Amino acid sequence: MSDDLGSFSLIELFRVEAEGQIGLLTRHLLALERGPAGPEVLEEMMRAAHSLKGAARIVDLTPAVQVAHAMEDRLVAAQRGEIVLDRDTVDALLQGVDWLAQISKLNEADVAGWTAAQATALSAYVASLTATPGARVAEAASAPVVEKAKAEGPAPEAMDRVLRVTAEKLNRLLGLAGESLVESRRLEPFNRSLLRLKRVQQELARSLERLRETLGERADDRVRGYLHEVQARAAESRVLLQDRIEEIDRFDRAATQLSSRLYREAQAVRMRPFADGAAAFPRMVRDLARQLGKEARLTVAGENTQVDRDVLEKIEAPLTHLLRNAVDHGLEDAETRINAGKPACGELRLEARHRAGMLIVTVSDDGRGVDLEGLRAAVVRKNFTTAEVAANLSSQEVLDFLFLPGFSLKTEITEISGRGVGLDVVQSMLKALRGTVRIHTHPGRGTTFELHLPVTLSVVRALLVDVAGEPYALPLAAVVRVLRVERPQVETAEGRPHFAFDGGRAALVFAREVLELGEAPAGSDDWCVVVLGDKSVRHGLVVDKFLGERELVVQPLDPRLGKIEDVAAAAVLEDGSPALILDVEDLRRSMGRLTSEAGAGRWSRVREAAVESRCQRVLVVDDSLTVRELERKLLLSRGYDVAVAVDGMEGWNAVRTGEFDLIITDVDMPRMDGIELVKLIKADERLKSRPVMIVSYKDREEDRRRGLDAGADYYLTKGSFHDESLLEAVVDLIGPARGAHA
């Protein structure tokens, strides 16, 4: 055993080996369902089972020995042509793979108890596997075949040497390598300063020459001697400086290349092929389709695409949701597919690739696609919006409703779907990874979900801008375009500046206003604008200056600070100064509020709150754009002053910094849910008297009790509320609006 593996226990070594062999068995068994296997595939599977049996015997895992031995016998029989590996046999062998996977994950202390508890079930499985006619092959008879295969078969490839390193140490290593990359770039501005010094020296030499010419014959010998000496010293220092500049330039290039290589190597340690995270999906799709009475096959493309292991781990759950939804919602049953002229077996495709510095992961199916008109009807039926508004929504806007919490097109609740849980979880997880998701659907031909993710979470390529004399970073992946907008190009609509962009209009918002850093400077003939957003909504963020692109090492903020509005993380620039990395999703929401009817007067309303006769202010906290807008318009129509927040964290920031007579909140929201928001409000001495209403899809008595126990003053369900019930509840809590339009 190598020194690198010396710290592993025997059972840990078995676990490492089992992981690889189980993956191999699973891949080949699933392939068998698509067609017969050649002798080399059967040989490889038999060898895997045999290796697992031997390894399990060494670590005294008797259950694994029994399962692997039974599987080996069946595979040897298939090699000899005594049995055919049909669908039922593949099912039985896959059950054996499941047993081996379960056993390999046991801790040493748990083996005896697990063996005793599972003895009956395990014995029944082994008996069923060996009872099939022709499947039982005596070990004595099979041993020569195995030995022959081992002797004549190709030598297995040497395994990579394994080093036991904790994820925490890898993170620290990558962090230090990233800092080294940043530090190496400090030489560049230093080198530039030396070049400026060289120019100053050149000016000095010219000045001395002009002085010599001016003095001419009037200077005595002593002055001419001093002048000559000064010129000689200046020339000598100029040569020395040039030598040092060239030397530092060489060192700068070498240090930058070395630190870049170091960072790439450290990053490579954290990178894993996409196949590592996708290995279990083909089996999951196959088993789920069987459970639903369908036929489905998953193809994984881009298996060698390198992905940060943190990203790979965190996208497992979203991909699981999307694949399960594709099988359950997207694919038709075999009869329906055949009638539609499609193959009986549905095709799913999971692909990973790099594009423009991003990781693009797509999940697609060739199923029925999304019924857009049915979706519109469901949106209206579930009171997300009115029929008039729904009729005018674009296809992409309608599809976005699928990501709302509690939304499902299934009318029946099963173990797989219909509970309204899934796509909202996908979107929340992707936002936590600084990623986005888009849906493309073609009725009758299928649906594709496209995930855009960072390749790594530790370093971000960013646009550096100046706002009020301080540097801020915007991740380049979120920047649509950077441009200068001249004042004649700017028009005013509804009190806000806009400009023409890509055939549409983009609202201009000053970064100083969003970040509450004072008024924007006046007098400039053009504005530095960073365009953010998607095709449906674009905003132009006006900054003071562009500072260029940078590759920044992400430094998480101290968790004790909580979530700071519009800020995601921090970084250190090459000159050692700190910079804040802005949260683009937060930023877009803040810009949207400022450009909306309710948000246009955000800053002035705080001052107006001190006026005794003001109308009551209501804060609506909901991550659903549609629900927020519906509630906002209802309340505005009755004369209330309304502000909005897109999740509990933003709501908490608004409550702490503004004056509100009522807070209306959803429960299920990213970052901070409504229950936690209510608890925070009621635990604050200054805020606890403010009434809070929960409006949620959760209509069970225990959900209602949980909200009221947290301190909510009213609990209303979205599934049952209509215009009057919400307004009546508001009047009960804070009375009718007063002086709203005075």
Q: Which of 95, 127, 152 is the last residue of a domain?
A: 152
- Sheet with 617-621: strands ordered across: 641-645, 617-621, 662-665, 692-696, 714-717
DSSP classification of residue 328: I
How high is the mean pLDDT of the chain? 79
Same domain, 550 and 627: no
Work out the percent of the chain whose per-residue pLDDT is above 70.
Answer: 83
In this predicted structure, the answer to whether residue 662 has a pLDDT above a threshold of 90 is yes
Backbone dihedral angles phi then psi of residue 543, each to the nearest 5 degrees: -115, 170
- The pLDDT value recorded for residue 742 is 38
278, 347, 344: which is closest to 312 by C-alpha?
A: 278
Judged by DSSP in three states, 534 sits in coil
Enclosing domain of residue 373: 279-442
DSSP 8-state class, residue 110? G
Amino acid letter, 570: A
- With bands split at pLDDT 50, 70 and 90, how would you rate the model's confidence at 415? low
- Residue 68 located in a structural domain: yes
Domain boundary among 256, 272, 288: 272
Residue at which a domain ends, from 241, 257, 272: 272
Does residue 417 or residue 341 have the better pLDDT? 341
Q: Which residue has the higher pLDDT, 600 or 639?
A: 639
Q: What CATH number does the domain containing 485 carry?
A: 2.40.50.180
CB atoms < 10 A from the CB of 129, how many? 23
- Average the pLDDT over 509-523 and give the result: 78
Residues 75 and 217 in one domain: no
Are residues 116 and 64 both part of a single domain? yes
Residue 148 has pLDDT above 70, yes or no: no
Q: Are residues 405 and 346 in the same domain?
A: yes
Whether 557 and 633 map to the same domain: the answer is no
> pLDDT class for 299, splitting at 50, 70, 90?
very high
Cβ neighbours of residue 647 closer than 8 Å, sequence gap 6 or more:
621, 623, 669, 670, 671, 672
Say which residue, 535 or 19, is predicted with more confidence: 19
Is residue 159 one of the residues assigned to a domain? no
User: In this structure, are 379 and 430 located in the same domain?
Assistant: yes
- pLDDT for 349 equals 95
What is the pLDDT at residue 6?
A: 46
Mind spelling out the 3-state secondary structure of 369-421?
A: CCCHHHHHHHHHHCCCCCHHHHHCCCHHHHHHHHHCCCCCCCCCCCCCCCCCC
Give kind and range of the element (H or E) at residue 254. helix 221-270
Tokens linked to 564: 């700071």
- pLDDT at residue 514, rounded to an integer: 87
Q: Same domain for 325 and 417? A: yes
Same domain, 268 and 293: no
Tell me the β-bridge partners of 467: 470
Q: Is 163 among the domain residues?
A: no
510 burial (CB, 10 Å; 0-12 / 13-18 / 19+) is buried
The answer to whether position 645 is within a domain reads yes
Statement: residue 333 has pLDDT above 70: yes
Residues 264 and 299 in one domain: no
The model carries a pTM of: 0.54
The CATH number linked to 347 is: 3.30.565.10
pLDDT class for 597, splitting at 50, 70, 90? very low
Beta bridge partners, 737, equal none
Are residues 393 and 329 part of one domain?
A: yes
Percent of the chain with pLDDT over 90: 11
Q: What is the pLDDT of residues 64-75, one digit of tens each?
A: 888 888 888 888
H-type alpha helices, 80-216: 87-104, 111-131, 139-152, 167-184, 187-215
Asked whether residue 286 falls in the same domain as residue 430, the answer is yes
| 663-699 tens-digit pLDDT | 999 888 877 888 989 999 988 888 888 899 998 877 7
454 located within any domain = no
Distances 530 to 198, 249, 437, 587 between C-alpha atoms, Å:
37, 33, 22, 12
What pLDDT band is residue 409 in, cutting at 50, 70 and 90?
low
Establish if 449 belongs to a structural domain.
Answer: no
User: What SS3 state is found at 590?
Assistant: helix
Give the pLDDT mean for 216-225. 79
At 613, the pLDDT band (50, 70, 90 cuts) reads very low
* Helix (H) or strand (E) segment spanning residue 451: strand 446-454
Task: Tally the domains of the chain.
Answer: 5
Express each pLDDT in 234-282 by its tens digit: 888 888 888 888 888 888 788 877 877 787 777 777 788 898 888 888 9
CA dihedral (518, 523, 524, 530) in degrees, to 10, reads 30
DSSP state of 306: E
Distances (CA, A) of 572 to 182, 248, 473, 474, 684: 8, 23, 11, 14, 35
The Cα–Cα gap between 52 and 477 comes to 45
pLDDT by residue (tens digit) across 691-713? 999 988 777 788 888 888 888 98
In a domain, 217, yes or no: yes
pLDDT value at position 693? 92
Does residue 162 sit within a domain? Answer: no
The answer to whether residues 246 and 365 belong to one domain is no
